[in-house]
Amino acid sequence: MGFFTDPVPRVVSSLSGLDGFLDIGVPGLLLSGAFLFAATLFLLGRRLFSAQLRYISLPADYFPLFLIVSIAATGLALRHLAKTDIASAKAMIMGLVTFAPASGAELHWLLYAHLFLVCVLFAYFPFSKLMHAGGVFLSPTRNLANDNRATRHINPWNPPFEVYSYEQYEDQFRDKMKAAGIPVEKE
């Protein structure tokens, strides 16, 4: 947000200051980028080296991890290894966002790789297991009262139904039950 808004919102600048408070290196190391890269590498390593997780893992479990590791790695490389011209990058990306593309000929190829990976993640996200993250906020254990022993909760959208007793069932199907050899209570 700090690169693509003018003026930069105060919340964004204060969060950026908090994120880069260590002032390691020039430009300063942002903890969020380092933690994202380290955390996704840890998750990928755990999936690769744990026999139990490797056994239950599918390619659909590895793809988002590789994608997020690649996004974090290209982002860190853009910030610390390839000295990217932020003004040109901002002009190129704002041109893409406003459907008025600007030339980005002098930009590093890592920026295009990073942008491509982010676009792939945006396209993949709604159709992946990552979409389950939003379901945490819709979980009944978070949204319902935990008083089921004190109060009887009736589902308001279930239609009323008639209770069908076993006696009524046997009265209706007694002949067929006898023919099938099923024991009946009344003869």
| Cβ count near 147 (within 10 Å) | 9
Q: Which residue has the tokens 């999936």?
A: 47
Alpha-carbon distance of 57 to 80, in angstroms, equals 33
In this model, does residue 49 exceed pLDDT 80?
yes
Alpha-carbon distance of 120 to 80, in angstroms, equals 23
For 52, phi then psi, to 5°, come to -65, -45
Give the chain's mean pLDDT.
86
Top mean-pLDDT range of 18-22, 31-35, 143-147 = 31-35
CB 137 within 8 A of CB 119: no
Higher model confidence: residue 167 or residue 155? 167
What pLDDT does residue 64 have? Answer: 93
In this model, does residue 62 exceed pLDDT 90?
yes
CB 170 within 8 A of CB 186: yes
What pLDDT does residue 123 have? Answer: 95
What's the pLDDT tens digit per position in 22-47?
Answer: 777 677 788 888 899 999 999 999 99
In this model, does residue 48 exceed pLDDT 90?
yes
Q: Which residue has the tokens 């945490």?
A: 136
What pLDDT does residue 136 have? Answer: 79
Instruction: Report the topology of domain 10-143.
Output: Fumarate Reductase Cytochrome B subunit (1.20.950)
Q: Output the DSSP codes for 3-49.
A: TT-SSPPHHHHHHHHHHTTT--TTTTPPHHHHHHHHHHHHHHHHHHH
In this model, does residue 141 exceed pLDDT 80?
no
Average pLDDT of the residues in 175-182: 92
In this model, does residue 150 exceed pLDDT 90?
no
Higher model confidence: residue 153 or residue 72? 72
State percent of the chain over pLDDT 90. Answer: 38
